[in-house]
Chain A
Amino acid sequence: MTNALEVEGLAVGFGRRQVLRGLSFSVPAGGSLAVIGPNGSGKTVLFRALIGSLPHQGEVRWAPATRIGYVPQKLDVERDLPLTGWDFVAAKAAVVRASQVEARHALELVRLPEEAVASPVGALSGGQFQRLLLAAALVGRPNALLFDEPTSGVDEPGEERLYQVIHRLQVSEGLTLLFISHELNVVFRFAANVLCLGQDPPCYGPPEEILTPRRIAEVYGEPMGYHHH
């Protein structure tokens, strides 16, 4: 299987603080990688380096013709910004030259209610806003999705549904998925491999190997509960 993404010796630092160093991993096309680690371990920094938003050392190679959909973790949007959900998704569609039909379809996939689509983005709940961001990311038929999950905002059943939507797209469209999650249950169910940051060296492998109670305690510095479905 060819790789959708190959990362070699990736290092990112801010001034004297080195957040990521010597990071190497690859994600096969259509595969799914979960990135876990405690706060401040550089998960979002890794994603931003992967999309070319942060200066970095080392190699980040995406397969040719990769179209990335990116769902950021948190955005600072003013409550009274005169921009509706539809304005935003339609803007994405126009920029990537996708049709409005496709934009509507993406909104249906994430099950964002019509009144939320017509509301100003600042008035949406955390969960609705995240679904809007996911819908926008899916417009333009991406073949790689980077999903930075918020620590809060989406209620658990809602979150489960979002991952099921993404999972279906993986199966039907061969979407490559990279996601950051704090929910180890989600990681178990939807990731083929796990990369845990915050340890030197970072650990990498299938969830059954990585998500052992001992390892989790090492990564997070304390025991964390999860149920293996």
Chain B
Amino acid sequence: MDWSGLALSVGMAAAAGLVGSFAVMRRMSLASDALSHVALPGIGLALAFHLNPVLGGMAALLAGTLLVFGLERRTGIATETIVGVVFSLALAVGSLLASGEELVDALLGAPGRTGAWELLLGLLGSAAVVTFVLVERNRLVLSLVSADIARTSGVRVARLELAYLVAFALTVALGLRYLGVLLMGSLTIIPAATGKRLARSLGGMLAISSACAVASTLVGEALAGRLHRPTGPLVIAVAAAVFLASVPIRRAR
């Protein structure tokens, strides 16, 4: 793998670990994993119209995020339920739009050579997500513990929620090409689950989670080269192995 690809995957993994920490702490692991699948119809449409599939996926993710956010606020139905419905619909529509090898690539990822603009956008996107989580972490913490406490502290809770969902969607979009629709959600959730298992403070959680995501990506990458196997599934397998290894470890008291 070339250096630019490596830089891109490290940036994407760091963003995934950070944004995933809050997804796991907010108990939206399943919802956020499913949300990542919303990218599929966008990829299908982009392929049908000979456009860049990542841009199509990103557009679908943003549209899906806004739809979920809007429906949740209007109807009061739980996020999990809405994401479940929107996800199934997206997967169905996406499978109709893409087919054969394209579909497999979209689902599991197909890292290829990275263009200069793709590298630039990817690095900027990762930097934006990392900055968002680090700058907003205190507001995210308050609204995680109690939206009412956050509100009385001057946090615009609805706006923060939306910004968080957009950051999440952006993170997933960053990894689409690399890990695919099915696996990218896992890279946000599994390292964060390891972090939650091992850490006892917020700083520890963010550090362990992003370190696990970056390490899994690098190890998966190296293994893929040696074993001549696709990268995405190996990255997730490594992340899951780290999580399973963390299960017997009790967090330091």
Contacts and interface: CB of A to CB of B under 8 A. Distances in A.
Interface of A: 48, 51-53, 68-70, 72, 75, 77-78, 80-84, 86-88, 90-92, 94-96, 119-121, 133, 136-137, 140, 146
B8 to A, nearest CB: 29
B222 interface: no
Interface string B26-37: 010000000000
CB-based closest 8 A-B pairs: A91-B138, A91-B141, A82-B205, A82-B199, A94-B138, A70-B152, A87-B202, A68-B152
Interface residues of B, number: 29
Interface string B183-206: 000000000000111011111110
B148 A48 contact: yes
Nearest to B155: A95
B128 interface: no
B30 to A, nearest CB: 15
Contacts of A87: 141, 201-203
A95 B202 contact: no
A121 B147 CA distance: 16
A96 B149 contact: no
A51 B203 CA distance: 30
B25 interface: yes
14 contacts: A51-B148, A70-B149, A81-B25, A82-B195, A87-B202, A88-B141, A88-B142, A92-B138, A95-B138, A95-B139, A96-B153, A96-B154, A119-B200, A140-B153
Nearest to B197: A80
Contacts of A120: 200-201
Given A75-B145, A91-B141, A83 B25 contact: yes
Given A95-B153, A95-B154, A83 B196 contact: no
A6 B201 CA distance: 41
Nearest to A90: B138
Interface in B120-173: 137-139, 141-142, 144-155
Given A81-B25, A82-B196, A92-B153, A70 B145 contact: no
Interface of B: 25, 27, 137-139, 141-142, 144-155, 195-197, 199-205
A120 B146 CA distance: 16
B151 A72 contact: no
Given A53-B151, A72-B146, A92-B138, 18 more contacts: A51-B152, A52-B151, A70-B149, A75-B145, A81-B196, A82-B202, A82-B204, A83-B144, A83-B202, A83-B205, A84-B202, A87-B201, A92-B142, A96-B154, A120-B201, A121-B145, A136-B149, A137-B149
Nearest to A47: B148
A70 B148 contact: yes
A23 B111 CA distance: 63
Nearest to A142: B152
Contacts of B148: 48, 51, 53, 70, 72
Question: Which of B146, B155, B197 has the most chain A CB atoms inside 10 A of its CB?
Answer: B146
Nearest to A80: B196
Contacts of B147: 53
A42 to B, nearest CB: 16
Given A77-B145, A91-B141, A91-B142, A83 B201 contact: yes
A86 B27 CA distance: 21
Contacts of A86: 201
B192 to A, nearest CB: 10
Contacts of B200: 82, 84, 119-120
For A48, A68, A88, A119, the residue with the greatest tally of chain B CB atoms inside 10 Å of its CB is A88
A72 B205 contact: no
**Most A CB within 10 A of own CB, among B139, B149, B155:** B149
B142 A84 contact: no
Contacts of A53: 147-148, 151
A82 B155 CA distance: 22
B200 to A, nearest CB: 5
A84 B200 CA distance: 7
Contacts of B205: 82-83
B25 to A, nearest CB: 6
A83 B141 contact: yes
